[in-house]
Amino acid sequence: MSSVRAHEDVPRIVEGYFGDSAAQDVQSVLYRYYLLMNLLATASQLADEVQPGSIPPPEDPQAVLGQAATLEGARTYAETVLERMTRLCYRHQNVRYSAEISRAKEFIRENYADSAISLHRGAEKVGFSPNHFSTVFSQETGQTFVEYLTAVRIEAAKHLLTKGNSRKSDIVFDVGYQDSHYFSYLFKKHVGVSPREYRSRSEEG
């Protein structure tokens, strides 16, 4: 879940936490106070697992009681706590996965010439399930696994087209493709010109 999606879900979660605003229980200040104290205690415990001390337990019960004075105040306070938890957990997720995604990128850069490279092999490399790996990779890089792999291959092809006399058919295989027409299609889509045009322009320049 992205931070944006989680942020959007906070009001719905708070609504479910407080229940029907017309119910007799939630009309009680003491009941709302109990809900907020319980939420704060739980959030503090969970936050400690991610970053100790990031959400301290309530030290001033009177301040919490003041927030519970109205239903709207209690809901706003609960949303603030949950949003802090969302941001904290999302930042931790990014830090936690950065090493794995760095390994995955390195795996792609070292093996892009292998036509059999796949998301499943990338996931296996970092110890994730394919579905989880796909989600995390996209969140961390802003690209899918295939998009990133394609970008690496196109950059390698550009280098080979300008730094040697290799035939295009050889370059196609050297960067991990087996279909010359498909390679040309991808190259023009990403670079704006065909491989032949790209080589001609580099020779002219």
For the segment 144-170, what is each residue's pLDDT rounded down to a tens digit?
A: 999 999 999 999 999 999 987 889 899
- The CATH T-level fold of domain 112-205 is Arc Repressor Mutant, subunit A (1.10.10)
For the segment 106-145, what is each residue's pLDDT rounded down to a tens digit?
A: 999 999 999 999 999 999 999 989 998 998 898 888 899 9
Q: At what angle do helices 145-162 and 71-111 cross, to 10 degrees?
A: 40
In the prediction, which pLDDT does 147 show?
94
> 23-48 burial by CB neighbour count: b if 16+ within 10 A, else e?
eeebeeeebbbebbbebbeebbeebe
What percentage of the chain carries pLDDT values higher than 70? Answer: 82
In the prediction, which pLDDT does 180 show?
94
In the prediction, which pLDDT does 161 show?
93
Identify the top-confidence range among 77-81, 155-159, 166-170, 201-205: 155-159
In the prediction, which pLDDT does 85 show?
76
What percentage of the chain carries pLDDT values higher than 90? Answer: 38
Q: How far is CA 144 from CA 7, 41, 105, 150, in A?
A: 23, 38, 12, 10
Q: Is the pTM of this model over 0.75?
A: no
Q: Which of 194, 82, 97, 182 is nearest to 136 (CA)?
A: 97
How confident is the model over 88-100, as a mean pLDDT? 67
Asked whether the predicted pLDDT for residue 40 surpasses 70, the reply is yes
In the prediction, which pLDDT does 45 show?
77
Query: Is the separation of the CB atoms in 41 and 85 below 8 Å?
Result: no
> 56-83 burial by CB neighbour count: b if 16+ within 10 A, else e?
eebeeeeebbebbeeeeebbebbbebbb
Asked whether the predicted pLDDT for residue 98 surpasses 90, the reply is no
One-letter amino acid for residue 103 of the chain: R
Hey, CA dihedral for 111, 116, 118, 121, is it positive or negative? negative
Q: Which of 108, 105, 112 is nearest to 175 (CA)?
A: 112
Ranking 42-56, 69-83, 114-128, 158-172 by mean pLDDT, the lowest is: 42-56
Instruction: Work out the mean pLDDT of the chain and round it to a whole number.
Output: 83
How confident is the model over 55-81, as a mean pLDDT? 81
Q: 56 or 74, which is more confident? A: 74
For the segment 3-38, what is each residue's pLDDT rounded down to a tens digit?
A: 434 445 767 777 777 765 556 677 788 888 888 888
